[in-house]
Structure 1
Amino acid sequence: MTETYFPEGNETLTLDQFVERLEASGIVPDLRASRYTPEAMSRVAEWMAALARDPDVLRGLLVDGLADFLNYQVDNDFKPSTLMLHKGDGYSLRAVLWMPPSPQHPPEIFSYYETHDHSFDFFTVGAFGPGYRTQLYDYEYENVRGVPGELVPLRFQEETGLPPGKVMYYYGSRDIHTQLPAPSISASINLLLPKTYPAHRRQYEMTLEETPEGVFGKLIAGNVDRQAQERALFETAAAMGDTDLHEALRDIARHHDTPQVRALAWQSLLPNSKHLAEDVGLVRDDGDPHVRAALSQWV
């Protein structure tokens, strides 16, 4: 369940001061490894609120961008509404702009109405404007096979907003949210904490399904760009028929940490396999339910 903080006080931190304080604290490795202590998390929430109180954080980001527009955020691989503030050792800070939907600002740019989780933990704080609203749920990652169309039981938490100064902490592979549009231009600041434990987890996208038995998330093909890239790579390697390529693909199918990637590798290799009976036996040896379900026509 997400954590919510309303830090009091008027302390202001510059970006450099925030980074210095965060890195000196030693808290980042603990959070990345799922070692949670309320005191440490409250401390970071206070620093996030103090960072958001500094108007020069967002102002400086925008001034720099307008002054050198051709080279602005060229290394940023997030969505267009996301701006990189700082990348540290094991964490990153980004600002996210939230625009009311319009023909110039389609909802998908801002992930509005898209129910999803994240594979990383993160803090977020309202920094400008009224902020978006969000519907919050949680679920049990370990019980999900990850097959498109699967119905995942969700537990509703609340619908809430992110006004200036409010801080929230999202747990990776546990919290799910559906973001609703901000009524006017808004911005938030996020501290992203990629997981070292548990690691190599998939993010899920889903549609909400309300039934008499409760609320479910119906899985759709999540992380579409990455998955399409993997599928194209695997299917091309399999189709070329080269022994070395097949062996490399077989190694991914047997040993990759993520079940979805293993399944995708087998789906590409099996129709082209020169050792089909042996490969089908290897699929049967994979005990993960997602792999078995995705390859059910073969096993």
Structure 2
Amino acid sequence: MPQIIDNPSDKSCSLLECIEALAQLEFDPRDAASTGQAAMWLRRLTNNRTFLADLLIDRLSGRVPHEVDSGYGPQAIVLSPLRRNMFLRANIWPAESDLCFRNSGAKSFVYGVPHDHNFSFLTSGYIGPGYRSDYYEYDYEDVAGYPGEPAPLRFVERSALHEGKIMLYRAHVDVHSQLPPESLSVSLNVMHVDPSQCWFDQYGFDLEKREVTRVLSPNATEAFLRVAVASGAEEALDFADWVGRTHPSERLRLASFEARAATLGGNEADELWRIAENTGSRLLEYIAGQRRAALMD
């Protein structure tokens, strides 16, 4: 499960102080000292009991001219722009009795959607009893990522992100299935941004079957690749060949073969999928076998 970080400090800081300190720190979740320092500043911001309310009132009243857009859904409030390799956000977690939950449903807030992350982040409970999670761990290298693939998930515990609790979610290690809190809650996050994180996939899981359900991390790179290949440009085809053979993202490697196969006839497509079967990728081997079988029908 995520690493619990004990930091009982009663000091507080402003949002701006926290942003500047974390930007200078260059938070690295793989380094214990760096993580400890980042957690200290997150604790200080968590101890500031008025900053978020002040910010929200400013936004609601129109006193703030520009709001940073969020790509994380309606519950996420981005608190800072990207600074070096991190940004801050707050997440609102409604309870089942809240109107927004009743109107939008559980999945709008990622409740009951077991998943890992392809990034690491620190989180703290800021308001309320906190969302609950069933926590699991797994070995990312053992999973290729195709739907129905067995996933060796190891259950750890169920616990809540209560006020003041600070945890480090580790990329490609920690899996959780979130449950609504007993009452409206808010968490704060220090998000670590690694330029290579889009090269590695994030998965959804079926906990009862212990299986992968799907890849949860599509991005513009895949769409750009498919469009470029569809143009038929030689450079695009060469680039797609390189991606299919060597890219660390299994999803992008598969997209490369799918895009090229879509432009080919039966025999040529079969030959391409035969190449995919022999790239050393378990995902490609599995999907290529299916595609070749379909071509023979």
TM-score if structure 1 supplies the norm length?
0.83
Q: Name the structure 2 match of 1:3.
A: 3
Q: Name the structure 1 match of 2:213.
A: 220
Q: Name the structure 1 match of 2:46.
A: 52
Which amino acid in 1 is paired with 2:286? Answer: A
Per-residue deviation at 1:103?
Answer: 2.3
Which amino acid in 2 is paired with 1:222? Answer: V
Per-residue deviation at 1:9?
Answer: 3.0
Q: Name the structure 2 match of 1:127.
A: 126
Higher strand proportion, which one?
1
Change (3 A) 1:276 1:22: same
Per-residue deviation at 1:270?
Answer: 1.5
Which amino acid in 2 is paired with 1:11? Answer: K
Which amino acid in 1 is paired with 2:39? Answer: A
Per-residue deviation at 1:196?
Answer: 5.8
1:286 aligns with 2:285: no
C-alpha distance in 1 between matches for 2:273 and 2:203: 27
Per-residue deviation at 1:289?
Answer: 1.2
1:264 aligns with 2:255: yes
1:100 aligns with 2:95: yes
Q: Deviations over 1:83-105 (max 9, x none)?
A: 10012111111000011133224
CA RMSD of aligned residues (A): 2.8
Which amino acid in 2 is paired with 1:65? Answer: R
Give yes or no for contact 1:141–1:173 (8 Å, CA) kept in 2.
yes
C-alpha distance in 1 between matches for 2:221 and 2:35: 36
* Structure 2 stretches lacking a partner, 5+ long: none
Change (3 A) 1:253 1:70: farther
Candidates 78, 89, 96, aligned match of 1:84? 78
Give yes or no for contact 2:23–2:85 (8 Å, CA) kept in 1.
no
Change (3 A) 1:268 1:70: farther
C-alpha distance in 2 between matches for 1:233 and 1:197: 17
Q: Name the structure 2 match of 1:73.
A: 67
Which amino acid in 2 is paired with 1:2? Answer: P
* Structure 1 stretches lacking a partner, 5+ long: 211-215
C-alpha distance in 2 between matches for 1:20 and 1:108: 34
Which amino acid in 2 is paired with 1:291? Answer: L
Q: Name the structure 1 match of 2:244.
A: 253
Change (3 A) 1:205 1:186: same
1:20 aligns with 2:14: no
Change (3 A) 1:23 1:119: same
Q: Which stretch shifts more, 177-186 or 59-68?
A: 59-68
Which amino acid in 1 is paired with 2:46? Answer: A
1:295 aligns with 2:288: yes
Per-residue deviation at 1:295?
Answer: 1.2
Give yes or no for contact 1:231–1:268 (8 Å, CA) kept in 2.
no
C-alpha distance in 2 between matches for 1:245 and 1:277: 20
TM-score if structure 2 supplies the norm length?
0.84
Per-residue deviation at 1:221?
Answer: 2.1
Q: Deviations over 1:206-229 (max 9, x none)?
A: 11126xxxxx2x2122227x37x7
C-alpha distance in 2 between matches for 1:72 and 1:106: 29
C-alpha distance in 1 between matches for 2:70 and 2:11: 30
